[in-house]
Amino acid sequence: MKRCEIVISGAGIAGVATAYYLSVKYGQARVVLIDKLLPMSLTTSKSGENFRDYWPQHCMASFAGRSLDLMQELADQSGDAFDMRFFGYDFVSESANREVFPSDALRASPSGLRRNCDREAIRRQYPHLAETIRQVVHIERAGSIDVYALGSLLLSRARDAGVELVCGTVDSIDQDSSGFALHLSTAGGEARVTANRLVLAAGPFVDELAGMLGIELPVESFLQRKIVIPDPDRIIPRDMPFTVFADPQTFDWSDEETELIDDDPDYQWLLDEFPGGLHVKPESNDQIKLGWAYNRASEPPKWDPRDDISFPSIVLRGASRFIPALDRYVKDRIPTPVVQYSGYYTRTRENWPLIGPLGLEGLYTVAALSGYGTMCACAAGELCADWMMGGSLPDFARNFHPDRYSDQAILAEIDGLESDGQL
């Protein structure tokens, strides 16, 4: 049996960042981090690794902004150990008038945003974009990181500060007056870890763990994907920012295709409108990465979700709407190898995370990080540590408190949201 002060269940980027801020910011060395898998190998390894401070609500914009500040500090201290690069995001739309991404935060302070609706200028500056594009909004404070390198840096510093990593599956949890007892299956047999305080950081399985303590969390998981493929025809300029098609779209299927789809109830969703948010960016070695979080059907998470063979052609077909030359890859043959990453966006209905105390004495969570968990991990880990160690809390802390739905003012804000910011 192992006894410690704090046990964190889950060594994805959220659990690792929490261990880092507990041990390095607060000097809390008696922390055990438990994971069934290698650290950062579940959802974290599927991340597109992108970041932005462009969010619909102030709380999310401040949260992401804080995380970027923390990442910049870490990048400076570590000699850029995780390749933090600022190349911006371009949101593109076929309409010059529509707000490409409704954002109170940006209406209040639009610095860091460049909006271009000049048709000729768009043609000159972005020759790879479709002639139908009438608006490009460039976000300055955005780019990408190497998430595994960031997590490894945080984990090695946390271990240097005393944090211990245990490999095991949490099968059940008991709570009594002395704290929590976690029952594990490990390679060496059954084991037990006890602690005064427990942090649930189990990604898509966080509600399963909370359920072991009789708590239901307001989260659902949605399987989303991205692909990386070669770009042998060099269609995507190597210096193209992360480019997002802001408009929803329906596909222009041929009569023959429509008939086939109509005949198969499993594929009729292909005739529906797909949401905006499809994104493309250049990758190293003449590759490109494409993602589109269009799945709106939640499901119980699986440990090893299957790839979808139709995803590569759907995302390329959608992308050729705003980068027409990609149509070549749909019509001829998708360049191989096609590497697909499938993982869950585990999220709340308004798409704000759950960070803070959870109703039972000594129980906390850092979870529901949806499609933004790698860019916001540092601020999430810091906030969880601030709650646990009595540090001063940022303004956004109350919006992300797991019990926020019982606060009428926050509930009214949630009910009135225009956009959930999901990409």
Residues that bind ligand FAD (CB under 6 A): 9-15, 34-37, 42-44, 46-50, 169-170, 201-205, 209, 224-226, 291, 341, 343-345, 367, 369-375
What is the number of helices (H) and of strands (E) in the chain?
12, 19
Which residue, 23 or 43, is less far from ligand FAD as judged by CB?
Answer: 43
- The minimum distance between CB 128 and ligand FAD, in angstroms, equals 22
- The minimum distance between CB 406 and ligand FAD, in angstroms, equals 24
d(CA 23, CA 217): 27
- Tokens at residue 295, please? 């799945």
Contacts of 313 (CB under 8 A, 6+ apart): 330, 334
Which residue, 46 or 197, is less far from ligand FAD as judged by CB?
Answer: 46
- The minimum distance between CB 69 and ligand FAD, in angstroms, equals 15
Q: Determine contact, residues 161/23, Cβ cutoff 8 Å.
A: yes
- The minimum distance between CB 336 and ligand FAD, in angstroms, equals 20
Question: Could you tell me the maximum CA-CA distance found in the chain, to the nearest angstrom?
Answer: 70
Task: Enumerate long-range contacts of 209-215, CB under 8 Å, 24 or more apart.
Answer: 209/9, 209/170, 209/173, 210/358, 210/365, 212/170, 212/172, 212/173, 213/173, 213/175, 213/360, 213/363, 215/358, 215/359, 215/360, 215/363
- The minimum distance between CB 122 and ligand FAD, in angstroms, equals 25
Q: Determine contact, residues 199/8, Cβ cutoff 8 Å.
A: yes
- The minimum distance between CB 229 and ligand FAD, in angstroms, equals 15
> How distant is the alpha carbon of residue 397 from its chain centre?
19
- Alpha helices for 176-333 (secondary structure H): 206-211, 255-263, 311-319, 327-331
Which residue, 133 or 375, is less far from ligand FAD as judged by CB?
Answer: 375
Which residue, 55 or 116, is less far from ligand FAD as judged by CB?
Answer: 55
Which residue, 28 or 50, is less far from ligand FAD as judged by CB?
Answer: 50
Which residue, 179 or 291, is less far from ligand FAD as judged by CB?
Answer: 291
- The minimum distance between CB 200 and ligand FAD, in angstroms, equals 9
Integer-rounded Cα Rg, in Å, for the chain is 22
Residue 413: φ, ψ to 5°: -60, -45
Which residue, 201 or 358, is less far from ligand FAD as judged by CB?
Answer: 201
- The residue type found at 15 is G
Which residue, 49 or 90, is less far from ligand FAD as judged by CB?
Answer: 49
- The minimum distance between CB 372 and ligand FAD, in angstroms, equals 4
